[in-house]
């Protein structure tokens, strides 16, 4: 008798999220895109340029991102903005 068994054969590879590192200092996030080190906290940073063209026959888009840790955001990026043209951030706060 020929006995058969079912085995899982992985036939493809797939890009899946592994880790997030800071493009400035190389720090590694602990929770996916959340830079927090505590479970009850959420610290996300976003520096992104979205460019898109739409025509009747199709279109294209490009998304350019820098991933930066909160420390470099405050000590590098914010300082750069403030020292060039005295730029100020938009801060939106909420409490619940």
Q: Which is nearer to Zn ion, 6 or 23 (CB)?
A: 23
Q: Which is nearer to Zn ion, 55 or 70 (CB)?
A: 70
Q: How far is the CB of 80 from Zn ion (least distance, A)?
A: 13
Cα→Cα distances 63→45, 47, 49, 60, 80, Å: 16, 10, 6, 10, 23
| Cα 20 from Cα 4, distance rounded (Å) | 43
Q: What does residue 63 show for φ and ψ, rounded to 5 degrees?
A: -125, 120
If one asks whether residue 77 binds Zn ion (CB under 5 A), the answer comes out as no
CB atoms within 10 A of CB 73: 20
Residues 12-71 contacting Zn ion, CB under 5 A: 22, 24-25, 27, 69
* Residue span binding Zn ion (CB under 5 A) among the ranges 11-19, 33-41, 52-60, 72-80: 72-80
Residue numbers at the binding site for Zn ion (CB under 5 A) = 22, 24-25, 27, 69, 72
């Amino acid at each position: 008798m020929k006995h058969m068994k079912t085995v899982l054969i992985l036939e493809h590879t797939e890009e899946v999220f592994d880790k997030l590192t800071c493009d400035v200092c190389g720090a590694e996030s602990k929770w996916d895109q959340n830079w927090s080190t505590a479970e009850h906290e959420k610290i996300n940073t976003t520096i992104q340029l979205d460019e898109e063209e739409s025509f009747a026959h199709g279109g294209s888009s490009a998304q350019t991102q820098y991933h930066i840790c909160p420390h470099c955001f405050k000590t590098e990026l914010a300082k750069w903005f403030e020292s060039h043209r005295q730029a100020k951030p938009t801060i939106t706060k909420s409490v619940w």
